[in-house]
Amino acid sequence: MKIAIVTETFLPSTDGIVTRLTACIRWLHKQGHNVRIIAPDLGVYEYDGAIIKGVPARTLPFYRSKQFALPNRVVKKYLEEYDPDVVHVVNPAILGYSGVNYAYKLGYPLVASYHTNVAQYLDFYHLSLLKGAIWWYFRKLHNRADLNICTSQTVQKELVERDFKNVHVWKRGVDTDMFHPDHFTNSMREKLTDGRTQDKLLLYVGRLAPEKEIEKLKAVLEESDEFSLAIVGDGPHRDQLEKHFEGTKTVFTGFMHGEELAQAFASSDVFVFPSTTETLGLVILEAMASGLPLVAAESGPTCEQIEDERTGLLYNPEEPRDFIKTVRRFEDETLRKRLSTNARKDIGDLGWSEAASQLLTLYEGVVGLEEKNEKTQDST
């Protein structure tokens, strides 16, 4: 099968979407399928044998730490040249607008996947009045697809309630070989704690943006001297966060990838995930695979992954002090070790093959539907 993936984000960017895509592409290649990627031109033109066709990218005024590709007619040219059996548009918004519309007009079987709750993010940028328009825009794009996929049952329910059509849940996955407790190193722990290796090390990994609510962690450090904090990642909010955490036991590392990131997970004690806007939170799975217990806001997607009091602790985001109290429970080392063992046990056999195999089945389903429709038209 020839598969065209049009995505708003790809290598060298690193986030949960890119991790999911690269894992599935590797699996598809092993099964003998051909993949072509259309993505913002960030200087990477091949991945695991798949050609990456770049679309000119630029920074946008509201988000200068990342480059985006705007709608572009070159997407039509790339699709016509490749002539895929199916087109998968990932997180359609800007470049994905071209992916959806050209795939639809050219008559290719079309899958669209929903990964980011942009409408909910607007609350953190004082743009709540635009929520209705954003939902209308995304619904219009996704309902041009033959099939839509999302990453949690909670998001599926919301999309269906908002009249998105034919929505399926794309199974979760994680690289349980890369993310493993065995990747602990003393040198990484020294780096993340700034030499305070006896402290209990809290870890945050992800994009540094207002909607991640990372500021909440400062109060924990101010109330308890047992914790240090490592913040791994980068984003538009980094300067403000560095000022906010000034004078606390906090280390900002910037981006980490591959083995270095695996070591950061395994060399920490507790993973903290204060955001209430996630559609899945792949870093949750990576933390669990690394043997880290978690503190996360109680929400639909987190409840689908974290069992409260068994693999992590969930806090009530409506109670201002509940986050602090919940993190401080990990001053109890017995609790931390018990939840750590359960976290790794629950996730240890997950891998990516099941999620990738499901994706192929969904592709085959829309291709078969298109062929059936063509036969019906021919017979009439």
Cβ-Cβ contacts under 8 Å for 251 (sequence gap 6 or more): 191, 192, 193, 194, 228, 229, 230, 231
The pair of three-digit structure tokens given for residue 335, joined into one six-digit string: 């609790």
In tens, the pLDDT along 73-104 reads: 999 999 999 999 999 999 999 999 999 999 99
Residue ranges, CATH 3.40.50.2000, the chain: 2-173+352-379, 181-347
Q: Which two tokens stand for residue 217?
A: 């962690």
Q: Which fold has domain 2-173+352-379?
A: Rossmann fold (3.40.50)
The model's pLDDT over 280-323, given as tens digits with 9 standing for 90+, comes to 789 999 999 999 999 999 988 888 899 999 999 999 999 989 99
Whether residue 132 is predicted with pLDDT greater than 90 in this model: the reply is yes
Distances (CA, A) of 228 to 156, 217, 265, 369: 37, 10, 14, 54
**Per-residue pLDDT tens over the stretch 230-283:** 999 999 999 999 999 999 999 999 999 999 999 999 999 999 999 887 767 899
- Class of residue 196 by CB neighbours under 10 A (exposed 0-12, middle 13-18, buried 19+): middle
CA distance 92 to 62: 18
Q: What's the confidence (pLDDT) of residue 380? A: 52
Q: Which pLDDT belongs to residue 125?
A: 80
pLDDT of residue 65 exceeding 80: no
The pLDDT of residue 374 is above 90: no
Q: What is residue 122's predicted lDDT score, i.e. its pLDDT?
A: 86
Give the pairing type, strands 57-60 and 63-69.
antiparallel
Distance CA 28, CA 345 (A): 27
The SS3 of residue 109 is: coil
Q: Is the pLDDT of residue 378 over 60?
A: no
For residue 17, what pLDDT band results from cuts at 50, 70 and 90? very high
Task: Tell me how far CA of residue 60 lies from CA of 63, 121, 362, in angstroms.
Answer: 5, 17, 34
What's the mean pLDDT in 332-361?
Answer: 96
pLDDT value at position 349? 85
Contact 174, 352 (CB under 8 A): yes
CB 92 within 8 A of CB 112: yes
Report the pLDDT averaged over residues 172-180: 95
Q: Which residues of 91-122 are buried (b: 16+ CB within 10 A; e: fewer)?
A: bbbbbbbbbbbbbbeeebbbbbbbbbbbbbbb
Mean pLDDT confidence for 36-63: 94
Cβ distance 229 to 252 under 8 Å?
Answer: no
175 residue type, one letter: D
Give the fold, CATH level 3, of 181-347.
Answer: Rossmann fold (3.40.50)
Q: How confident is the model at residue 123 (pLDDT cuts 50, 70, 90)?
A: confident
Q: What are phi and psi of 323, to 5 degrees?
A: -60, -45
Is residue 25 within 8 A of residue 50, CB to CB? The reply is yes
Cα(109)–Cα(139) distance, integer angstroms? 18
